[in-house]
Homo-oligomer: A and B are copies of this chain.
Amino acid sequence: MFNIRKILTVSDYVTMLNIISGLLAIFLNSFSFVYLAVIFDSLDGYVARKTNTVSDFGAELDSISDVVSFGVAPAYLLYTNFESTLSLISAIIFCLCGALRLARFGILNVKGFIGLPIPAGALLVVSFCQLINNKMIDSIFAIFVGLLMISDVKYPKYPKKIFIYMFAISLILAMFGIPHFALLLCLIYAIYGLIKHFNR
């Protein structure tokens, strides 16, 4: 009756934790669960490679969970923070761009990323909203990040190990209410790609 369980691997269960975190971010209106979702999202790829269980099903489930945690959740948090027409429109634009970014990623087979990856986009919007509570600035920023996700700007895939450790620490700090370092790291990453793009 439930043969689907036969195709589920350990990394798929980690992906499910990503979806659950994204849903909790929405249901409980909590920024922290978006950071937790990023941790699970980073973990599932790692687990899939380590356990040699990279699969088409896993990749599909990954895209589907990413739009929940990094598309809908940040959009919802942005909208409910202000409940204005402007935040509604920018939230929709951000989530739409995220969905387009994920769909393009699903069909491309290139080294590195084209367009800012959606977890980085989500982190930017969520940490920015948490730190700067201004309807106009937050909404324009979210639209800018959305456009960066569907742009042709290239981003490196796996940064150096020291960067990954810093990133992990910044996420844990963000989960406990200190999103400054996560914002800073993601801003550096976003701007780095932009500078390289215009200096080609």
Contact = CB atoms under 8 A, between A and B. Distances in A.
B91 A60 contact: no
Chain copies in the assembled complex? 2
Given A60-B63, A68-B72, A79 B27 contact: yes
A188 B95 CA distance: 34
Contact of A99 (B19, B95, B106): B19
Nearest to A101: B4
Query: A interface, by DSSP: helix, strand, loop or mixed?
Result: helix
A150 B5 CA distance: 9
B100 A27 contact: no
Interface in A26-53: 26-27
A92 B65 CA distance: 12
Given A27-B91, A72-B26, A79-B27, A100 B150 contact: no
A72 B23 contact: yes
Interface of A: 1-4, 7-8, 16, 19-20, 23-24, 26-27, 56-57, 60-61, 63-65, 67-68, 71-72, 75-76, 79-80, 88, 91-92, 95-96, 99-100, 102-104, 106-107, 115, 147, 150-153
8 contacts: A1-B152, A1-B153, A4-B150, A23-B75, A26-B76, A27-B80, A60-B102, A68-B99
